[in-house]
Structure 1
Amino acid sequence: MHLLCSLATCLVIGLWRTTDSSPTSSDRTDDAFKLPTAFPRVKTNASSIAPSLLEPYDSAVNVIDLNQPNDEERVGFFDEEALSKALLELENSKVFLDHLHPSHFFAGINAQEAQEEQVMADFARWIKYDDAFGKKYNTDRVYKNSVIQLMDTVKDEEKLVSLLLAFAKVPDEHDRASLLKRELRKAKLKLLKPDFIKWREDNLRPDEVYDMMRIGLEKRLIPSESAAKWYIVFQEIVLWLYYVREFNSEQKLYLANHVLFLLVEKRGQEEVVLFLHWLREESGLLNSVSMADTLQELMLLAYPETVDTMLLLWLGSDMRPYDVYERLVFAARRHMPQEVSPEEKQQFLLYKLIQWFTYIDVYVADGRFIFTDDDTVRVMIDFGTYFASEEVVESLTSLISVDGMEDRAIRLLVVLISKHVSSFDRATRNKLLRLIFTLHV
């Protein structure tokens, strides 16, 4: 208990300063809230978080109100005839019909008859036309135009986000959907800029600003919330993080542990764990990977009870054992408070090491990935100090006395001594081999 209290109160990690990055095809936003269903060797209450947070398609899309006269004769998202004619003109390199703006093709939707596939197909066609229109008439960036039109037309943000999340599932449209979501975030950030300026002039700390922003009014999420609702709330947290970045850019200090403790207080541990995983998978905002890594490391140290859920999420995104070791074991060693006794430190690090071995077992269980004992030893050495091999020997020797770890520890010691300990003299190596032989016998 003393160790956990020390970890929660003594960590000081400086908050990042970052810049926007461009979205890439690795953006996995629409999968980021999903929890894997199996992690057999780790007890978890993950099912209480959200059994199906992000459905691939949300039924709310079917009832989008486009604030346009409803055409009972037309089943679809747009004016099919006008859109088809305009696309044909485009393909023939002719002038667009009277320079019609893309918004012309929003014609309403018959919620009772329209099919999901048709809605998405129509939406993809509109984006294609919007792209061509923007290039031909040298308008501002097409995706920005698209988002502005969507924001002006689809007044319900939850329905709009549902549409974008569903669009990301359309084959070959993932990158385009990511750009649309990024532009939506930028448009919202632009609206907040005047407030940001005023709050900075008033020298308001981020914890004060949190309660003044929309996120301060949002209740904690529950599993039954729609996928779009989760996405919207997480985006609002990101907007607050932008203010934290601006606050720190003026030589002020709002540390990563301040960010984490406030989010846990306001949103709860389970929601924050999911947010950090989503943030790491999301691209195109702040420096999402390094920010999420920093906060995840701190989360595991300050709230070790969240480790099972974190491991589930990492497993679901196929995170490599190398990366898990860095966040789970190496981070614990790096941030260990100085006042922790050597015995407590060793006990805590062994606990983290066993959790890492558990992750490896599940990671390779279905045969899709290979991670050998040699790989395991290499990772432990890579993250060691100058005397890495000796540290690994000490850790593995200690593991021999842990129930269920003896065979694994001996196997890894044999690999270490036979392949990775060129610095050991022969006498030391023989001594270790005799120890292993004695224990094994």
Structure 2
Amino acid sequence: MSGTGPTDAVATDEEIIDTISVITAKRDGNALTDAQIEWIIDRYTHGGHVADEQMSALLMAIFLRGMSRPEIARWTRAMIDSGRRMDFSGLRRDGRPLVTVDKHSTGGVGDKITLPLSPLVASFGVAVPQLSGRGLGHTGGTLDKLESIPGWRADLDPDEMSDQLEHVGVVICAAGGDLAPADRRLYALRDVTGTVESIPLVASSIMSKKIAEGTGALVLDVKTGSGAFFKSLAQSRELAETMVWLGNEAGVDTRALLTDMDCPLGATAGNALEVAESLEVLAGGGPADVVELTVALAREMLDAAGLPDADPALHLANGMAMDVWRAMIAAQGGDPDAALPSARHTDTVVAAESGIVSRVDAMAVGVAAWRLGAGRAVPGEAVQSEAGVQMHAKPGDRVRAGAPLFTLHTQTPERFAGARAALTAAVTIGEQAPQRTPLVIDRVTVGA
């Protein structure tokens, strides 16, 4: 069997490494050595006698036993070393080097922040290389949203990315297959082996791609609450602290904001619906919570880029961020003036009673949008650009019985029943206004 014979073992100056010894070391609660980590990641990624069932066993051992920070750092570096590392240090504009800064969100419902944020930061002369992904399950994908714009394309080669960063200042595109390929294989395996919710594995997955991307600074938006990857504040904080530590250890100026995801962001969850809402923000309007988080993250990114006194709200108000958005969309083949697709079918969910909305459950709204066709159940599945949920009431709003709470959008009306079922207990209505939870809960920086 692969991974068990003497021909599969490798001798180093200090130890003999084989697949079984790596699995049993972690199973027994021991720290993996640098050599063990490098060997197992390389052999698994590049087809060297480590079978899926063996890596699954190791992932489960990590899930149950955890990893120290030095182990996580070495695991992350091994995944980075499995592929190409991008380099934007040569970017120039008007003869001057461009500073690069990126942002990553751990995912949420209605989280369209990347769309207005990236051109906003770029409008200050900072280069924003935003490698994004597609949605899976209840969380939406940035690329899925942007692909609702006619003509826009997500796949750019490195030369196209560099050229767009120099001339436009921002690019939002798909990561190439040669960027941390170990992570791609490991993520697919974690998804089917019940080992997704592991802080060492999540942190190394995110940070391997972001460090390999080659950005000079990184701001993380780590969500917590019902619609977040980790529901508890303690877990979300641990994830944020781990990723900030990993980034700074790798020489990337990294900081994080812990933000609330009990309630969806803004008034929409979907693809084209969220693009439309993002355009409202870029035009100087939009929902207050989307604007607040966009500006807060922009301040962090601009500070990391050496512009601590820049006022991002000004560039939303004066149209400079919108100008960069239009240039970015056009540079990637999209028509910034084209009408966004709209659903052929809509359905309305109304309030059963009168009172004050005390809670809108983010997970329920995300599941409803997914069931309407806005998301996918398996990688590669097509999504509906038009599908999604429009929210008419947020916590603190007073509603009357029979008033609309949600409008459901889809091209396939047979999906309405499943979406309605997801929203059955999504809204809590009471007699008193809820206590406000801050949108930005805390800030995590190096030294945490």
- Normalising by structure 1, report the TM-score: 0.29
Task: Flag the structure with more relative contact order, 1 or 2, with Cα contacts below 8 A and sequence separation at least 6.
Answer: 1
Structure with greater helix percent:
1
Structure with greater strand percent:
2
